[in-house]
Each structure stands twice: as structure tokens, then as C-alpha cells.
Amino acid sequence: MTDVSAASQQLFDMWKKQMDEGAQAWTRLLGQNPTPTPDPLSFWKPAMEHGLQTWARIFATTPVSPDLMAQWKQFLDQTIEAWSKALGQVMTTDAYARAMGKSLEQWLASYAPVKKQAEQSIDAALQALNLPSRAQVTSLAKQLVDLEERLDRFEDGIAAVLRRLEGGKAG
Amino acid sequence: MAQERFADVVERFANGYADLAAASPEILKKWQDELERGFKRMTNLAQMVQSPVEPRTGQTPREEIYRKGKARLYRYASKRTHRTPVLFVPNLGISRPYIFDLLPGGSFIEHMTKEGFDFYLLDWGVFGPEDNDLSFEDCVVKILPRVTRKVLESSGAPSLSVLGYCMGAPLSSSFVASHPEVPVKNYINMAGPIDFSKVGIFGLWLDRRFFDVDRFIDTMGYLPADMVKAGFKLLRPTMDLSTNLNLWWNLWNDKYVEGFNALNKWANEYVAFPGEFFRQWVRDFYQGNKLYRGELVFGGRPVKLEAIDCPLFVVGAKEDYIAPPACVRALMSAVRSRDKEYIELPGGHISLIAGRGASVHCWPRVSSWLASRS
């Protein structure tokens, strides 16, 4: 039992060390760029540290049984939650909202002429085939909606008159 | 050298595992159970991939009472032991309303009908380009008045209770506040945003500094279902990951898989917003907060929340990212009602209306509050 705990602790210490060294190597590599880059460690290290410590603690203290699966699931849940919180913090900033708005603006600016062109081509093709265009079908559907609204208004009027008549009888 | 040490550690770890398992019958039994679950997981996964079963949602019997445009009014079968009918007004667009009647044993509508309520659901429908002119105002002044009249006519009752969920709450509260002649006996707001200054992440993304709704609708004509989906997925980017992880974990459980299939079908079936509706929804509510400020005028009628004076029940969810509790609770101080109650339950936006937590914590609270006033 002690052997297993010690071995698992050692295994995770090594894993953690490898992760740290890997991250440092990436940081050094990115640091060679002339422009300063944000420190990737500062973003993911707290979540990763937390996860690794939990994972190592679980293996060091738990008897080896399928319960480990449940703890593994708990570990993943906590990791996902930590990422969700980290992402949530980014997404609730003005900078993120501005970036999202800007990319949507750019997309609309490029999409609008393409959409217009596509609609014109499709309309021309449908006209050549003597078929109604999307706009014509939509217009017909809108007329039906208007007709339904007018019928409803008639129905409302009749109902109001009937109510008045019934009120008159009762009076 | 490092590789050798790593291999040693793995070997010792693996040996220790085998030794310990052999030494303990209890642990062996646990491993056996785990293996059986593993096989069951594989069987269910194979079935989900090879021959997926279409979930049978919306099984509570109902009849269509009225239709207008894409909207449908349904009346559900029940013993109708309570005199006052309930009109349920859900969100328009975004998703389909079968979430409220997901599966037998896990259905809000089934719960309400079993409790003896004469229950009506307004299904706003799935919109196409022909509906792009439909506005929020149209829903409040053209659809909801007729729907309430149909409820009163078909039930024969002198008054009705109105229950708004999510966007259905600002829609129905705008209606109740601007139509004092409609005999609304009780009003319930479940996770419906009222004070949009506290609406959270969507409020920030849709802020007029970052989002030009007029340019968007003038270009697109409407808000497509795929964009609605993208918006909601962005709200919780890790949601799919944890959903799939939970599915794998519970894949051995047939009941869980059945519920997952139904909920997953709903969660991936998004509904587009009509263009004018979305324009007004963003401009007047998210950007202008006009409902809470009392600045709306629909069909020539001022929409003042203080005009609501019937008994009020408000339900917020602690971890609701779509309608945070603060923006839902705001209705409490905005109305004139004396009989009013607010509860805040654990979970998120959907957990008020679907899932085991809802059936235990939320639905009985709603039905018991309403029963004593119906």
C-alpha cells in the first residue's frame, strides 16, 4: 500500500515536472520573438496546478480501487469548471465584447455584398425557369398573414357585438 | 535515465495495483461492477451510434385551441380540479417548447396537469422569412390578447393565471401591465429577465457600444438559428465537454441515456428570431432597459409594471447565466402587488424547467403557490 502510494506520488511528481519544464521551454521559445508575448503560464498554470495537485493527492491517499474512476471524473469536472471560470472571466470583459462585435462587423461587411450577389443570381435563374423567387413566395406568405389578421379583427368585432347584445338582453 | 526511472515507476504502480486487487474481495467486486458498467457503456454507445432512438417527447395529451400565424395555443388534458386556468407563455425563438413536456415522469406540464390545473401552452412556433415583420409589440398587442381570450372562452373561467418563463416573462408582463382589462388572477415569472441592467454576459455582448442591431438585421433580415446556437454555445464554451463527459460516465444507465437523448435533441434544435422582433428585443430591452424603466408604449398603451397588482410569484435560479437572479428578482419591487413571493433555487436557467432537480425543488413550489390561489 505504501509502495503504491509512494510510486503514484513519484509518478505525478515527474509528470508535473515534465509539464513545468515543457511550459518553460515554450515560454523561452515564444520569448525569442522580437515582440513581447503574453505569458501563457499566467493563464493556464493556476488551473493546471490545481488539477495536478488534486490528482497527485488522490493517487497518494486513495486505496487502488475503481473508486479512482470516480475521483478521476471529479478531477475532470473540477478542471472543466476551472477552465469555464477562466474563460468566463475573459468573456465578461469589454475587450472581448469589443473584439466579438468587431469580428461580427467585418463578417457582415463581407457577407452583405456576397448575399446580394447570390440573391440576384438565384432570382435571375428562377425567373429564367419561370419559377417564383424566394421574395415572391415570402410576399405571398405575408399576404396570408395579413389576411389572417384581418379575419381575426372581424372575429373580434363580431365577438364584441355579441357580447354587447348579450349584455343588452341581460340588462 | 529519466525514461528508465519513469518505466520503473509505472511498473511498480501497476504491480501494486494487481497485488492490492488480489488481496481484497471487496475491491474485486467493485472492479467486476466497473467492468460490467464498461460493457454496458459500450453497448449503449454502439446503439446510440448505429441505431439512434428518436426520443418520444411531448406525450401529455393536448388539443389545439387556437392558431395565429405560427403561434399555436394548446390545452392539456387534466382533471381540472382548480377553477382558474393557467396560460404558460414561454420564450419566442431560441428553442422548441417540448422541453416543458420532455418525457413522462420528467415533464413540467405533466406535473401541472396531474396537480389538477387547466393548463394552456402558447407555442410561438418556428419562424421563416415571411415572419420577419413580426415584432415584440405585435406579440403583446395582437397575439397575447387573443390567446388570453381563447383561454377564458374555452375554460369558461372568469379569470386566468399567467406564467411566463424566460423571455415569456417580459412578453407576458408587458401584456399584463398594458392590458388592465384582462382578468389576470395570478402572475408567475420563472427565470424571466426584467431589469436588463443586471442581465449579465448577454447584456455586455449586446451592448450598443459593441453590437449594432440595426446593421445586423438590415443585412441578415433575421437572426438565423445557427447564430442563436453559436451565441448560447459561446455563453458556456465548456458545456459540450462536460455534457459529453457526464454522458460517458452515466452511459451504463439506460434511464440516464433516455433522458440525455431527449434533452440533447432539444438542446441542439434552435429556432431563428424574426428580424423585427430581434431588433426590438435588443434595442428596447437589452440596450434600452425600457420595460423596467416604464418607457415602453405598445399599441398606444403605456407598459408600466406598477400596473400589475395581482398576486405575484417570482422564481430565480442561483447559477442562471441567461437571466441572473438579480434581473429576475427586479419584478418584485416594480409591481404594485401586495401578495408577492420570491424564491431562488439552486441550478441554472434550464434546471428550473427540466431535470430531477426541477421536479423536486421547483415544480412543487410553483404548483402549491398557484393551487392556493386558483
pLDDT tens-place string over residues B90-108: 999 899 999 999 999 889 9
For residue B248, give the nearest of B285, B240, B221 by alpha carbon. B240
Clarify whether residues B14 and B101 are in a common domain: no
Do B205 and B81 sit in the same domain of this protein?
A: yes
Same domain, B315 and B339: yes
Using CA atoms, how far residue B158 sits from B121, B154, B155, in Å, is 19, 11, 9
- Cβ <8 Å between B31 and A65: yes
Question: Which pLDDT score is estimated for B236?
Answer: 85
CB contact under 8 A, A92 and B204: yes
Mean pLDDT value across residues B211-230:
93
**Same domain, yes or no, for A10 and A31?**
yes
The residue ranking higher by pLDDT, B334 or A114, is B334
Which of B205, B238, B245 shows the shortest C-beta gap to A83?
Answer: B238
Task: Give dist(CA B89, CA A147) in Å, integer.
Answer: 25
Distance (Å, whole) CA B64 – CA B66: 6
Percentage of chain B beyond pLDDT 90 is 72
What's the domain range around A27?
A: 2-92
Same structural domain for residues B133 and B264?
A: yes
Q: CA-CA distance, B123 to B116, in Å (whole number)?
A: 21
**What domain range includes position B94?**
62-371
pLDDT for the residue B54: 86
Interface test with A, best of B198, B227, B240, B242 (most A CBs within 10 A): B242
CA B20 vs. chain centroid, Å, equals 48
Least confident of B21-25, B100-104, B116-120: B21-25
Most confident among A42-56, A147-161, B298-312 (mean pLDDT): B298-312
Question: Domain check: are B13 and B66 in the same one?
Answer: no
Closest in B12, B34, B201 to A92, CB measured: B201
A and B: number of Cβ contacts within 8 A = 116
Q: What does the pLDDT read at residue B2? A: 45
What cell does A16 get?
508535473
Between A21 and B120, name the one with better pLDDT: B120
- Could you tell me the pLDDT band of residue B1, with boundaries at 50, 70 and 90? very low
Which is nearest to B212 in space by CA: A112, A9, A158? A112
Q: Tell me how far apart the alpha carbons of residues B350 and B239 are, in angstroms, rounded to a whole number.
A: 13
**For residues B155-176, average pLDDT:** 96
Write down the mean pLDDT value for chain A: 78
pLDDT of residue B72: 96
Mind telling me how many Å the CA of A38 is from chain B's nearest CA?
22
Backbone angles phi, psi at B73, to 5 degrees: -110, 125
- Whether residue A106 lies within 8 A of chain B, CB to CB, comes out as no
Q: Does residue B230 belong to the interface with chain A, where contact is any CB pair within 8 Å?
A: no
What pLDDT does residue A116 have? Answer: 87
Interchain CB distance below 8 Å, B6 and A65: no
B106, B15: one domain = no
Report the range of poorest mean pLDDT among B52-61, B75-84, B208-217, B270-279.
Answer: B52-61
CB contacts, 8 Å: A97 with chain B: 204-205, 207, 209-210
Considering A34-38, A41-45, B264-268, the range whose residues carry the highest mean pLDDT is: B264-268
Amino acid at B125: G
The answer to whether residue B365 scores a pLDDT higher than 70 is yes
Q: What is the CATH number of the domain that holds B131?
A: 3.40.50.1820
The angle at the Cα of B180, spanning B177 to B183, to the nearest 5 degrees, equals: 110
Same domain, A163 and A144: yes
Task: List phi, psi (to 5°) of B273.
Answer: -100, 135
- Shared-domain flag, residues A82 and A150: no
Strand B86-89 to B160-165 pairing: parallel
User: In angstroms, rounded to a whole number, what is the distance separating the alpha carbons of residues B136 and B89?
Assistant: 14
Q: Of the candidates A3, A65, A76, which has its C-beta nearest B12's C-beta?
A: A3
The predicted model gives A12-19 an average pLDDT of 73
Which cell goes with B281?
428585443
Distance in angstroms (rounded) separating the CA atoms of residues B88 and B102? 15
Query: Is the minimum CB–CB distance between A113 and chain B shorter than 8 Å?
Result: no
- Whole-number pLDDT of residue B278: 96
pLDDT at A2 over 60: no
Are residues B25 and B160 located together in one domain of the fold?
Answer: no
Confidence of residue B24 (pLDDT cuts 50, 70, 90): confident
Last residue of some domain: A76, A92, A108?
A92
Task: Provide the pLDDT for residue A1.
Answer: 45
Q: What is the pLDDT of residues B180-191, one digit of tens each?
A: 999 999 999 999
| pLDDT at residue B372 tops 70 | yes
B39 and B103 together in one domain: no
For residues B261-277, average pLDDT = 92
What mean pLDDT do residues A101-115 have? 90
Q: CA-to-CA distance for B284 and B270, rounded, in angstroms?
A: 23
Label residue B52 by pLDDT band (50, 70, 90): confident
pLDDT at residue A82, rounded to an integer: 87
Quote the number of domains for chain B: 2
pLDDT average, residue stretch B170-196? 96
Percentages of chain A per state (helix, strand, coil), in multiples of 5: 85, 0, 15
Cα angle B164-B340-B149, degrees, rounded to a multiple of 5: 40
CA distance B139 to B87: 15
pLDDT of B164 > 90? The answer is yes
C-alpha cell at B246: 457526464
- Asked whether the beta carbons of residue B17 and residue A108 sit closer than 8 angstroms, the reply is no
ipTM attached to this prediction: 0.79
Burial readout B260-297 (b: 16 or more C-beta within 10 A, e: otherwise): bbbbbbbbeebbbbbbbbbbbbbbbbbbbbbbbeeebe
Whether the per-residue pLDDT at A19 is higher than 80: the answer is: no
- Name the amino acid, one letter, at B115: E
pTM comes to: 0.80
Query: How far, in Å, CA of A100 to CA of A5, rounded?
Result: 48
* DSSP-assigned letters across all residues of A138-162: HHHHHHHHHHHHHHHHHHHHHHHHH
Dist. CA B194–CA B308, nearest whole Å: 13
Residue A60 near residue A9 (C-beta atoms within 8 A): yes
Q: What type of residue is B298?
A: F
B168-172 average pLDDT score: 97
Q: Which residues of A touch B33 (CB under 8 A)?
A: 66
Beta carbons of B353 and B291 less than 8 angstroms apart: no
Domains contained in chain A, number: 3
Find the residue in A nearest to B70 (Cα).
A145
Q: Do B201 and A101 touch (CB under 8 A)?
A: no
**Average pLDDT over chain B, rounded to whole?**
91
What are the φ and ψ backbone dihedral angles of B84, each rounded to 5 degrees?
Answer: -90, 120
Distance from CA of B98 to the nearest CA of A (A): 25
Within-domain flag for B319: yes
* Residue-wise pLDDT tens digits, B223-233: 999 999 999 98
In a domain, B55, yes or no: no
Higher pLDDT, A47 or A95: A95
Both B180 and B70 in one domain: the answer is yes
